[in-house]
């Protein structure tokens, strides 16, 4: 899985966890329009709600994704937890921007 798809999956997973914090139609708008790109060592996260375009940029170095089977690496629990926490904070920012 590419890094952009891995981050998108993580964001959608955390967004679903916080679904009760936003209206269903806003949740659906964010989920269906979410896009993640890598530009200049940053993840550019974009989405649309009620004809409003939103964008957040985060450092690519804030997340570390790897393919375990490709390198026979053991899971790095600390890095997984860091990714989870970073995605949690990112989703809260996405929700805040979407409802304001």
Provide the mean pLDDT of the chain: 90
Cβ atoms of 94 and 56 closer than 8 Å: yes
Confidence of residue 76 (pLDDT cuts 50, 70, 90): confident
Mean pLDDT, rounded, for 23-44: 96
How far apart are the C-alpha atoms of 54 and 48, rounded to whole Å? 6
Give the CA angle between residues 67, 68, 71 to the nearest 5°: 90
CA distance 34 to 43: 12
Share of the chain above pLDDT 70, in %: 89
pLDDT per residue over 50-74, tens digit each?
989 999 999 999 988 765 555 566 6
pLDDT at residue 73, as a whole number: 62
Question: What is residue 80's predicted lDDT score, i.e. its pLDDT?
Answer: 85
Q: Mean pLDDT, to the nearest integer, of 78-91?
A: 91
In angstroms, the Cα distances linking 94 to 19, 46, 58, 60, 72 are: 12, 9, 12, 17, 34
Residue 89 has pLDDT above 70, yes or no: yes
Spatial separation of the C-alpha atoms in residues 3 and 100, rounded to whole Å: 29
* DSSP 8-state assignment for residue 22: S
Of 62, 55, 63, nearest to 2 by C-alpha is 63
């Amino acid at each position: 899985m590419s890094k952009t798809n891995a981050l998108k999956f993580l964001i959608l997973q955390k967004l679903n966890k916080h679904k009760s914090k936003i209206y269903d139609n806003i949740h659906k708008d964010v989920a269906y329009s979410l896009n993640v790109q890598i530009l200049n060592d940053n993840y550019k996260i974009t989405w649309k709600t009620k004809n409003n375009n939103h964008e957040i940029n985060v450092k690519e170095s804030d997340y570390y994704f790897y393919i375990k089977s490709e390198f026979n690496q053991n899971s790095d629990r600390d890095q997984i937890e860091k990714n989870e926490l970073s995605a949690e904070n990112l989703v809260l920012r996405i929700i805040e921007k979407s409802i304001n």
